[in-house]
Structure 1
Amino acid sequence: MEAGVSAVVIAGAGPTGLALACGLAAAGAAVRVLDKRAEPATTSRALGLQPRGAEVLDRLGALGDLPGRSVRIARVVTHVDGEPMASLEVGRPTKLVRKPGLLMSQTEVEAALRRRLNSLGVEVEWGRELLSAAQDASGVTVCCEGERIRADWLVGCDGAHSRVRTSAGIGFPGVSVIESFLLADVRAELPFASDAVSVWLRGDAMLGAFPLPGDRVWRLMAPGGAAHPAPGVDGVVEELARQLREHTGVHGSAVAQVLWSSTFRIHRRLASTYRQGRILLAGDAAHIHSPFGGQGMNTGLGDAENLAWKLALVAHGAAAPRLLDTYEAERRPIAREVLASTSSLTRVAVGTSPAARALRDHVFVPLMNRPFVQRLIWEQSSQLKIHYRGGPLGTRTLARWSARGPRAGDRMPDLACRDAGGAPTRLHAELGSRWALLSPTPHDGEAYLAEARRHLGPAVPVVHLLTSGSRHAGVMLVRPDGHLAWRGDSAAALGSRLRLRFGTSSGHLPGKAEA
């Protein structure tokens, strides 16, 4: 049978697919989410929400009580040959990062996103494996068992082995970083700080212990080594228990219960393109890399939020399809940087040669005690430094407003604002599916608001917020993902900017030929 047309079909109900669906549904776009699994996953490798990841969930209305149910990590303690050598403070607020990272299972994040999606009237369709997809000039035909779905757009959020990516003929080049990696979630009496990630380095061996929510629940992780390329469940636990004893002196009997264990290879891969006509990729379908640094799930959430508002504009007819090319232009460089940084971190942590291990133990690890190094690492890993200033929607050159505040493409700080009724609010609390127009006074914003609504379309919500202070002078239009879209002092200039960047006239946005 063949179903009716859906504006967007998303393959994959992991964090990326669910976040994308939430953003689209909240913006009023029709969306279906298909997943080949019979039910939600109960285990996951990803376990960290960086500050930006938590910020994305908050804007989507899905963060809820996750911070209260997570483990807030204050530091990463690194031991060399059994001795504590560095304590990297990651919970201390800086000028940029105000909130700590959160440790929790990816399954908790997915459950929160599903609750939000359900509240928007969309249910995940479980047991719906995408078998193939073919596109033409007017849409995409998605074939599932027993049904052919016609969609305007298809987004592959279906992981490293993405069938959507294969159907679109998009390459996924890369290399293996570590052949075998072991992990297990256990219930154990371990004498380690419950607010710290503990890491032990000894030669070419490494062990990590991560506190998780729950009663004495820990995640143990270690490279498998050449002698343990693919152990079974018992082999994983036995090897991790051996390394626990060797690195820390804690006997394996401290592990009272094994909740879950797994082995996997660490690869570094990046899709050759994020868009092929009416088919797009996001999350692990577009990029995979080492879990070191806890960037994977957060990078996928960033992909989803960036794509959601653009796809919503196109679905509403408020922007030309070429706007979708800016998704790859803004997000692929982020993924490329994450791949490079996590691969470098992995090589340093594992120590691929005696010289590399000596440099790690006597230079890199001690440097992590320096406050300026700690701030640099923490701010970089938080993902709050991400900006799109050099992209097609950003500002490449200095404008006269630049010296007094953010430029187009920059992430906006969470400014204190007032709504139209004068009630206090915060900028990021008003975003999600909405655009925000910031102006010093109600009168100043009227012409700008009319211009924004005229070019973004009546179906796209724009909220008017009042702000003050010379540091953020002028009128600003903020994208739903928290980045500045425009800043200036002329409503006509705002209209010109929106017409140039989002307008439906052909030729406004350079990019790939439309499907």
Structure 2
Amino acid sequence: MSAPTEFRTQVAVVGAGPVGATVANYLGLYGVETLLVDRSTDIVDYPRAVGMDDECLRSFQGIGLADEMLADMLQNIPLKMFGADGRCFADIRPATKEFGWPRRNIFMQQLAERTLRKGLERYPHIRPLYGHELIRVEQDGTEVRLHLSGPDGEGALVRAAYVVAADGGRSTIRTQLNIPLVGETSPRKWVVIECDNDPLDAPYTGLHCDPRRPYVCLDLPYNYRRWEFMLFPGEDAEAMLRPERVRELLTGHVPDPAALNVIRARVYTHHSRVASRFVEGRICLVGDAAHLMPPWAGQGMNTGIRDATNVAWKLAAVVSGRAHPRILSTYDTERRAHAKAMVDLSDTLGRILSSTNPWVARPRDILFRGLRLAPAVRDWLVDMRFKPMPRYSERGIVLHRGQEAGKNCAVGRMLVQPKVETSAGLAVHLDDTLGTWFTLIGYGTDPLIHLDDESRAFWDRIGTRYVAVAESRSGRSQGERPTSATDSVVVEDLDGSLRDWFATQPGTMAVIRPDRYVAAVTEPLELASLSCEFERLLSPSRNPKAEDLPSSRSSLEPLGGAS
């Protein structure tokens, strides 16, 4: 028998779905040598995840793929809820672009995966290893070893400093690490039916809360449509997938069920589970490997993309020596509680909307119609403010300093993203001026003029960009825009959004993390002390131990192995 081909890499990502491919794209952006492993050679060619929110699009903006995603997407799609009598009792149309992108968008997963895989081609240090199945995972204080089986049964061994488990709800890695999924599984199953010749003029997502059989109907891009029907106790799930039963389910919902070109009919079970921990040694769980949730809030994949954006920059900071490996523990503390909140939201919506008891359904419909008459409640629904937003506490990579823990303080929250104007007169998203790593932003002031030599050396060492925000039209003319005497990037606050944002904060300077969360807010006079605190928070080891950082020998080329 031949010896397995052996690879060494800084990070291995197992699972090339949307979450794993996003991690790999971010690691490519950060210059981290990465191996992307997946047991499949091809992308599954039918829709699965279909909802994408503004936070998710902002993550794709960070890797330069938001516009490519939008090219295959339905933007600002309404979400309508219909009661037992068939009348709409809630019409959710979020208009806010707080984070720079539409809040409710519909896409098809297979197209998004192609875009993400195409994006990986930009990075020569990212190597896909498709058609390889993970058999066994081992780790110690210095590395993780992945034992793989290739397309023809040949063995491969990957030695990685760190591993990201993005291998789905039945995660082999999570199972072998004995990490339990805590929660419950719904006894009700659902049949999902998709066609590629949409017969309906219904350009929205419809949640039909009919107690006779609750169902969901979704308008998808490129003439696709999806239905999801609840099954009742005693109904044979597999029998419901027969063509005649599929047509029976669709009867009354489309003009001619027999005319539909059904491309898929499958049975799904709704799980509400979160892994008991997201980090085990040198391995981090992301996406469905870390949490499973019902589809009611449309947050399954979106939550996974938040995981990816959070864990990628921390891994990059560790393998580059800019932060101590212990910061990886903050991936668990920052992401697990929020994932649980998303699962709870999905469960709550499911209980409200999928009741099969008419005596519960009718009062629910009346209540929701009444709530629409209250402006505050209506706006809360329309703008989807019921969606829990992450706020990272002092146990994460943030600095809450006294008054900053107040209700309106943005520390630990995602930074707003308005349009700003560059020195060339271009109106762009704020993130496009912040660079790819940490940013020090000053409103009405230049961050660099407030840094002493030691503080400047620290921020430079971790690759920080400096941005000074000026009031719009504060230069002498179009030809004489505001400038800086330092290396700071100067942008103009095009519509006053950043002025308003900073006005609610306890300072005119902010530290922004690579994932666009606010790490700290301060006044210029306190910047030196904040710099010291932040350096201690990251605490990169000046003399790292062997077990703290990956080996300096890190190559994606095979190390050997007989053929």
TM-score in terms of structure 2 length: 0.81
Provide closer, same or farther for how the CA distance between residues 116 and 432 of structure 1 changes in structure 2, counting only shifts above 3 A: farther
Cα distance, 1:112 vs structure 2: 1.6
Q: Return closer, same or farther for 1:144/1:357 CA change in 2, 3 Å cut-off.
A: same
Once residues 10 and 95 of structure 1 are traced to their aligned partners in structure 2, the CA distance between those partners, rounded to angstroms, is 31
Say yes or no: does 1:177 pair with 2:213: no
| Residue pair 1:451, 1:495 contacting (<8 A) in 2 also | no
Q: Which of these residues, 71, 92, 95, is aligned with residue 92 of structure 1?
A: 95
- Aligned position for 1:59: 62
1:312 to 302, 313, 316: 316
1:208 aligns with 2:242: no
**Alignment: residue pair count:** 502
Matching residue of 1:321: 325
String of CA shifts for 1:66-115, please: whole Å, max 9, x gaps: 22331234422333345323241324337678624111111122122112
**Letter of the structure 2 residue corresponding to residue 158 of structure 1:** D
Aligned counterpart for 1:475 among listed residues 509, 524, 528:
509
CA contact (8 A) 1:416 1:467 kept: no
Q: Structure 2 vs 1, CA of residues 231 and 55 (structure 1 numbering), >3 Å: closer, same or farther?
A: same
1:485 matches 2:519: yes
Specify the code of the residue in structure 2 equivalent to 1:487: V
Kept in 2: contact 1:86–1:369 (CA 8 A):
no
Which residue of 243, 252, 261 maps to 2:257? 252
Residue pairs, 1:16-415, within 5 angstroms: 16-93=19-96, 99-121=102-124, 122-145=126-149, 146-194=155-203, 196-215=204-223, 217-231=224-238, 234-235=241-242, 238-246=244-252, 248=253, 250-253=255-258, 255-351=259-355, 353-364=357-368, 367=371, 371-380=375-384, 385-389=389-393, 391-396=395-400, 398-399=402-403, 406-415=409-418
Change in CA separation of 1:287 and 1:348 when aligned onto 2, cut-off 3 Å = same
Residues 332 and 450 of structure 1: CA distance in aligned 2, closer, same or farther (over 3 Å) = farther
- C-alpha offsets along residues 441-471 of structure 1, whole Å, 9 cap, x if unaligned? 685425549767744674x542222213554
Q: Distance in 2 between matches of 1:314 and 1:96?
A: 28
Gaps of 5+ in 1: 507-512
- Give 1:138 deviation, angstroms: 0.6
1:154-176 per-position Cα deviation (integer Å, ceiling 9, x unaligned):
11100110011122221112211
For 1:261, give the aligned amino acid. Answer: A
Q: Equivalent residue for 1:510?
A: none
Q: Indicate conservation of the 8 Å contact 1:289/1:339, yes or no.
A: yes
* Counterpart for residue 7 of structure 1: 10
Q: Is the 8 A contact 2:279 2:329 kept in 1?
A: yes
Counterpart Cα distance in 1 of 2:54 and 2:229: 25
RMSD between aligned alpha carbons? 3.1
Q: Which residue identity is paired with 1:363? A: L
Separation (CA, whole Å) in 2 of partners of 1:211 and 1:135 = 45
Identity across matched positions, percent: 22
Larger radius of gyration: 2
Write the distance in 1 (CA, Å) between the matches of 2:255 and 2:374.
30
Separation (CA, whole Å) in 2 of partners of 1:443 and 1:117: 36
Q: How does 1:416-495 map to 2 (within 5 A)?
A: 416-417=419-420, 425-431=428-434, 433-440=436-443, 444-445=447-448, 448=451, 454-455=457-458, 458=461, 460-468=462-470, 471=500, 472=502, 474-488=508-522, 489=524, 490-495=526-531
Cα offset for 1:438?
Answer: 1.2
Partner of 2:554: none
Q: Take 1:74 and 1:108, find their aligned partners in 2: how far apart are those partners?
A: 18
Q: Deviations over 1:469-496 (max 9, x none)?
A: 5542522221111111122223422321
Unaligned runs of 5+ in 2: 150-154, 472-498, 543-547, 551-563
Report how far residue 380 of structure 1 moved. 4.2
Change (3 A) 1:107 1:436: same
Cα distance in 2 between the residues matched to 1:457 and 1:129: 41
Q: CA deviation at 1:22?
A: 1.1
TM-superposition CA deviations, 1:399-443 (whole Å, max 9, x none): 27979x743212111145566888764322245732222124685
Q: Deviations over 1:325-352 (max 9, x none)?
A: 1111111111110111101111211115
Q: C-alpha separation between the residues in 1 aligned to 2:99 and 2:129?
A: 39
Secondary structure of the 1:13 match is: coil
**Cα distance, 1:51 vs. partner?**
1.4
Farther off after superposition, 480-489 or 322-331: 480-489
Matches of 1:401 and 1:273, distance apart in 2: 26
